[in-house]
Amino acid sequence: DRRALPDPAALAAFEKLYVFVSHHHDDHFSPAIYDLCGENATYILGFDIPQPYKGVRMSPGEARTFGALTVNAYGSTDEGVSFCVDFAGVTLFHAGDPRQGSMYDAGAGYFIMTVKPKVFIPMHFQGRPDVALRFAVTGETPQTRIVALEQPGDHIDLHLPEDEASAPDQKLKDLLKDDE
C-alpha cells in the first residue's frame, strides 16, 4: 500500500539506509522497496524472499555485520525470520510476523515482562488501531513505554544514546538464545 511508504526525499537524506524484510508475505514485502530506497540501500532479507530480488538473505541462527551494524536472525512464529539489530549501543528487535490467534498479545506481553525494553512498538493489528492503543495502555510497565502507531505512514524518531551507560543490557540476547 503506497500510502504506508515513506517519502523518497526523506529516505535520500540518510547517509546509509538499511531495509529489513522479514518474509515474503505481501504485507511485509513488495518489490516497490527497490525503487523507493534505491541502489545504495542495504537490503537484509529473510531467507524466503524469492530470487531475483537483491539483498543479503538470512536464516535463523545467522549473524552478519554491516559496518557498525550487527544483525542476528532468529525464527518467527509464522514465516521467515525475526531480526535483532545492534547499532551504537542500541538494540532493536523486529519480531517478524507473530501469529498468536486470540492470544495475539501473549508474545508481546511475555517479551515486555522478560526483556523490559525501554520502548515497545506493537504492530500488525490488521487496521485496528484501537486494539494497539488498548494494548499500549494495558501493557505498559514502569520500565517499558509502549508507542502505538495508529495509521499507515505513522513513525517515531529514535535518538541514539550519548554514552554506553544508557545502552541496553544482555536480557534480549539471552532470551533469544534460549529459544533457538
Q: What is the pLDDT of residues 73-104, one digit of tens each?
A: 998 877 899 999 998 888 888 888 776 667 77
User: Rounded mean pLDDT of 132-142?
Assistant: 90
pTM as predicted:
0.76
Q: Which residue, among 64, 4, 11, has the nearest Cα to 29 in the 3D structure?
A: 4
> Are the beta carbons of 58 and 82 closer than 8 angstroms?
no
9 vs 121: CA distance, rounded Å: 25
Q: Which residue, among 114, 113, 65, has the nearest Cα to 85 in the 3D structure?
A: 65
> Are the beta carbons of 145 and 118 closer than 8 angstroms?
yes
What is the reported pLDDT for 164?
46
50 vs 53: CA distance, rounded Å: 6
pLDDT at 30 over 90: no
Q: What sign results for the dihedral spanned by CA atoms 4, 36, 74, 48?
A: positive
- Asked if the peptide bond before residue 52 counts as cis, ω within 30 degrees of 0, the response is yes
DSSP H helices, the chain, are 8-12, 32-37, 106-115, 129-139, 171-178
